[in-house]
Amino acid sequence: MAYLWDQLRAAVPLIFSGTSEILTTTWITLRIALVSTGIALIVGLPIGLVIGLGRFRGRRVLHILANASLALPPVLAGVFVLLVLLPQGPLGSLHFAFSIYGVYAVQTLLALPYIVAMTPAAIQALPPGLLAQARTLGAGPLQLSALALREAKIGVIAAIIAALGTALSEVAAIIIVGANIQGDTQTLATAIVSQIYDYGNYPAALAIGVVLLVLILALMLVLTVLQQRTSGVRLRFRTSGATGG
Amino acid sequence: MTALWNTVREAVPLILHGNPTLFTVIWFTLQVSAIATAGAAVIGLPIGLTLGLGRFRGRRVLQVLANASLGVPPVLIGLALFLVTMPKAPLGSLHLQGTRQGVFIAQTILALPFVVAFSAAAVQGLAPGLLAQARALGAGRPQVYALALREARIGVLAAMIAALGATLAEVGAIVVIGGNIYGYDQTLATAALYEANGAHYQDAVAIGLVLIVLILVLIGAASLLQLRGGTSMRFRSAT
């Protein structure tokens, strides 16, 4: 036990002395998480809403496909995105391979299934009468979407938490597409792999691990508080609406 | 598009004329998934059932912890295991670094949160009267647990499927603890990383195709099992 304690004690100063490197990596990690989750939201929310609210043939098939895409191993997403982005690939002219933009692209692809699959699930879990009532009262698709999103906020925020979480923990896809370049495409998670696998620098790996853990806890805490606070308002609103109606 | 297509086309013969390493990797992947999922079930189901059914102080806190553990990056679990198995560390005498046993243990730890959190949620989703009735009729704890397990088998199987999927896709933890040693402790997922890093894209695609097929077959079989389990749910509502 004393040994582990020594390791941890050796790691803590590294967090502060290696500040500029770890800070850069933390900033890159945050940027990747925010950009990929942001794009996934812009692209995925409308799709999720259509699947959740739409009443068309094949809606269930689409939802099953979205669920199934959650099981896609990120390492495969990495290989295929890299092949597409390599100079001889279809999107080679963008020069995204081994750059931060390639990492944004693959992480967006990995975040998308969470938004697309979890949004309709959250909408379908709403009390059945709610959306029907809004439709009867003449709500158009936009109003209906806004209502569904507001009411299904807990599920949608859960999807955002999941999407951010994958970006923070992803290793394989980011290494493959971004080449794990320190200060450029390296995230905290891939830096841990690099410190152990390439350099055998265990205290540094531990220091980065502590930062990653703190970052994840902080993000999850903020989002969970946000999620639960809105839920309280929503539930009170809903029950008062039910008694009134 | 043609370049991409050519890579995929060149990958297929690589699978069919498979080199012995590929079979080693496939076999090891199957071993890892089976051992980790089974190990996580043996350890995790009793914990999950206790969390879901128990009536003790701190149950909710433990359940929140179980749910939160799903969000821990696997690479951190690999790192923690790596540090406690360093030669001078408490578990150093087990020699888990760079070995297959290390990968088995890391993957079992990774699969555990899925089994614990999802099986607890599954038994909590049961009709509230069911277990109370069984208790009132004099069922002891093992009987109540067995009943809950049988009734919540769809959710419990979903937990197993999630655990299986996680072990098949994992890379970070395996690379950290196992070192991703070619032909020894590589799984399909880490082998794909290895080949892609070496710019052997055809090999990476070949391995990736095998991994997709393996996932489809295993998850498909488990889902079928789950659906078949669902048919006897009709039996329950009939009684």
Interface membership of A38 toward B (CB under 8 Å): no
Residue B79 has which token pair? 């790192």
Distance, CA of A166 to CA of A161 (rounded, Å): 9
Please report the sign of the dihedral spanned by the C-alpha atoms of residue A11, residue A12, residue A13, residue A15: positive
Is residue B7 within 8 Å of residue B202, measured between CB atoms?
yes
For residue A89, how far is the Cα from the chain centroid? 27
Distance, CA of B17 to CA of B51 (rounded, Å): 49
Distance, CA of A213 to CA of A218 (rounded, Å): 9
Distance, CA of A204 to CA of A13 (rounded, Å): 10
Per-residue pLDDT tens for B147-196?
Answer: 999 999 989 998 999 999 999 999 999 999 999 999 899 999 999 999 99
CB contact under 8 A, A192 and B75: yes
CATH of the domain at B234: 1.10.3720.10
Q: How confident is the model at residue A214 (pLDDT cuts 50, 70, 90)?
A: very high
Is residue A176 within 8 Å of residue A193, measured between CB atoms?
no
B74 → chain A, closest CA residue: A169
Distance, CA of A23 to CA of A74 (rounded, Å): 26
SS3 call for B177: helix
Q: Which residue spans within chain A are E strands per DSSP?
A: none
Specify the pLDDT at position A232: 47
CB contact under 8 A, A84 and B4: yes
Distance, CA of B160 to CA of B116 (rounded, Å): 10
Which residues from B are below 8 Å from A when comparing CB atoms? 1, 3-4, 7, 68, 71-76, 79-80, 82-84, 86, 88-90, 165, 168-169, 171-172, 175-176, 179-180, 189-190, 192-193, 196-197, 201, 204-205, 208, 211-212, 215, 219
C-alpha pair distances (Å), B124 with each of B40, B143, B146, B152:
20, 16, 14, 9
Q: How far does B54 lie from chain A, in Å, by closest CA?
A: 25
Distance, CA of B198 to CA of B180 (rounded, Å): 13
Per-residue pLDDT tens for A115-171?
Answer: 999 999 999 888 878 988 999 999 988 999 999 999 999 899 999 999 999 999 999
Residue A242 has which token pair? 């039910």
**What H or E segment, with its residue span, contains residue B52?**
helix B20-53
Is residue A197 within 8 Å of residue B180, measured between CB atoms?
yes
Residue B88: φ, ψ to 5°: -95, -5
Which of A:183-212 have CB within 8 Å of B? 189, 192-193, 196-197, 202, 205-206, 209, 212
For residue B80, how far is the Cα from the chain centroid? 19
Per-residue pLDDT tens for A55-81?
Answer: 888 888 898 888 888 888 999 999 999
Per-residue pLDDT tens for A91-110?
Answer: 989 999 999 999 999 999 99
- Structural domain of B131: 2-238
Say whether pTM exceeds 0.90.
Answer: no
For chain A, percent of residues with pLDDT exceeding 70: 92
Domain tally, chain B: 1
